[in-house]
Amino acid sequence: MAILSTPLQYIKSVPPVTRFFTAATLASSTLYLWIRWTTGPTLVAYLTLVPGTSLFFPWTFATSALVEISVIELIISLLVIPASLAYFERLWGTIETLKFIIVCVTGPNIIGCAFNWIEFAVTRNADLFLYGMEYHGQMALFVSLLVAFTQVIPEHQVQILGFIKARVKRLPMAYLTFSTIMTLLGFQSPYILIQFGWFVSWIYLRFYKRNVGDSIGGVVSYGDRSETFALTSWFPPFLHTPLSMLGNTVYKLGTRLHLLPTSVPHDIESGGYSQVPGGARAEAERRRALALKALDQRLANSSSGSPTQSGTSQAQSSRPSPVAPAPVQNERKPSPVEMDVADTSGSEDERR
């Protein structure tokens, strides 16, 4: 009979960054709810991000992600975020996971705050855009983790709510569509952070994340330059051309200004940059996705060309096969006696 591990042993088995982040989320959210319950919203600006006061409390650009303002949001975050962070911490390591969290939390908050100040400059409505919006929670981090899962296991199929089946690579855009709808309905805070979180996490994983590739002998590289993780892969085909032109222009500008780290294009099989974002496992999953795509294309081509090929094969089978000439046997040379007898017999026949 197996002995169940104690809660302390389970906590010790969780990677350190995931353990600390989960504990900080639980503590900060509990403190926020207690402050709102006892003293009101006067101390809210010390924990969450309010664009009008964030410049005086700069730590809120990071701590606001640790605060969930409702019990339901806190439960959802504790069910989803720690398990995902533990997966990537075992895959990437402690330092890279910590850097990923910091970038994907503070980046969307900075962009969201700047966007609110632009809206205030246009509308002059400070009560709404500077003090009426409060950014909080882990929505930006959640969509960033979905982007990371799309990079590592894009073809993996998940089941949502027990009956909805979808591939991992479809989830970020579905969540982004939900964010767009909520933003257009007037719920800019905090749902617009989902859009900024998707963009920041893709840029970081595409160009800046440090990789130590197992398949290239430990050579340090940055980002993931493969075609399966390009910007156009997130959008429908009719947008590929303008997005490619825009992306190439921005990339050339960033390279010229030395804003992008250089990577080494070692992967010849993929036809371009295909650095290993998470080790051999991620590389195997990526090659599996490419192999499945190539297999589908090959099956489609073979099914479309099967009648012509079958007719050609039948025509070839109906042709008579060429008959090989019989081997020539070595003839024995006649002796001189036999030649004289043959000449004598031939002369007697002529006489008759």
Same domain membership, residue 229 and residue 151: no
Same domain membership, residue 108 and residue 134: yes
Radius of gyration, alpha carbons of the chain:
35
Same domain membership, residue 182 and residue 135: yes
Same domain membership, residue 173 and residue 75: yes
Number of domains into which the chain is organized: 2
Question: Which of 158, 187, 208 delimits the end of a domain?
Answer: 208
pLDDT at 10: 74
pLDDT at 75: 93
- % of the chain at pLDDT higher than 70: 72
pLDDT tens digit string along 2-26? 444 677 777 778 899 999 999 999 9
Question: Which of 174, 208, 242 delimits the end of a domain?
Answer: 208
For residue 310, is it within any domain? no
Same domain membership, residue 181 and residue 36: yes
pLDDT at 165: 83
Same domain membership, residue 193 and residue 64: yes
pLDDT at 260: 82
pLDDT at 326: 47
Is the confidence at residue 351, as pLDDT, over 80? no
Same domain membership, residue 288 and residue 182: no
Q: What is the extent of the structural domain holding 292?
A: 215-301
pLDDT at 276: 42
Same domain membership, residue 194 and residue 219: no
Same domain membership, residue 159 and residue 234: no
pLDDT at 291: 72
pLDDT tens digit string along 247-280? 888 888 888 888 887 654 444 333 333 444 444 4
Q: For position 117, which CATH number holds? A: 1.20.1540.10
Same domain membership, residue 253 and residue 179: no
Is the confidence at residue 95, as pLDDT, over 80? yes
For residue 179, is it within any domain? yes
Q: How many residues does the chain have?
A: 352
Neighbours of 108 (CB within 10 A): 29
Same domain membership, residue 243 and residue 189: no
Average pLDDT of the residues in 152-161 = 83
Same domain membership, residue 290 and residue 166: no
